[in-house]
Structure formats: C-alpha cells, structure tokens
Amino acid sequence: MGTATVRLMPDAEDVRRVALSLPDTTEKVAWSMPTFRVAGKMFATLPEDETSMAVRCPKEERDELVLAEPDKFWIADHEAGFAWVRVRLSALEDEPELRDILADSWRQAAPTRLLESYPELGLPAAD
C-alpha cells in the first residue's frame, strides 16, 4: 500500500494554475516576476522568492486584513500607496482560500463585460 502525499499549503504553481483558470487571464513577466492580468489589467503577482503573492485589495479592507491576520497579510513598503496587499502562501489554509483571494482580486480588475459573463465569480459565498 503506497502513501499519498498530501500538500496542505498552496505554492507558487497553485497560484499560477488558479490564476490562469480565471476567465481572460494571461501571465506576463514584469519587474522580473510573474504577473497575472485580466483583460490586460494586473490582479496578482508572485514577487521575489514566490513564497507570497500580491493581490488587489481596497486600502480600507487591506488595513483591516493586516490587523486581523498579520501572519497572513502584510503591506510591502513600495506598495503602501496602492490598493495591494501581500499574502503569505504558507499561511493559507487550503486551495479554496487561495481561489477566493485570487477571484476577489480578479473581480477588482476585470471589466464589466467579464463580470457580467461570469456571474459565478460575482460575489464570494456568504459564510
């Protein structure tokens, strides 16, 4: 009987796979790192050593996230003036959480025509 390997935390390849599964998403290297764009607008990046990702997040929500879960979310100095937040991949619970975060960022960058074409990506499910 073989043992199955269970990977709990999402990694950079999971980010790439999930991001590219979202409608009209492309990957482009910019600033020497992978970036993910919907209809040409960036919604996620895999910075530096690819142990975290940066995603769009309204500043008000971003500050609340960082205060509520500082082990998971933080603001990079050079992104402080922008509506972006960093997410430590090792702190994510599972792939559904990764998908929710990426889909939320995708929604913020996607044009209305895509949001209307993919209502299932509309609003996150209520808890």
Residues 69-125 have pLDDT tens digits of 999 999 999 999 999 999 999 999 999 999 999 999 999 999 999 999 998 886 544
Specify the pLDDT at position 4.
52
Specify the pLDDT at position 119.
87
Q: What is the mean pLDDT of the chain?
A: 90
Contact between 4 and 20 under an 8 Å Cβ cutoff? The reply is no
Is beta strand 84-88 parallel, antiparallel or unpaired with respect to 73-74?
antiparallel
Q: Residues of the chain with pLDDT > 70: what percent? A: 89
Specify the pLDDT at position 90.
94
pTM: 0.88
Q: Which candidate, 86, 83, 88, 91, places its Cα nearest to that of 109?
A: 83
SS3 of 53, please?
A: strand
2-11 pLDDT, tens per residue? 555 555 679 9
Contact between 16 and 27 under an 8 Å Cβ cutoff? The reply is yes
| The pair of three-digit structure tokens given for residue 49, joined into one six-digit string | 């050593």
Complete DSSP assignment for 2-48: -------S--HHHHHHHHHHSTTEEEEEETTEEEEEETTEEEEE--T
Under the banding of pLDDT at 50, 70 and 90, the label for residue 126 is very low
Residues 6+ apart with CB under 8 A from 113: none
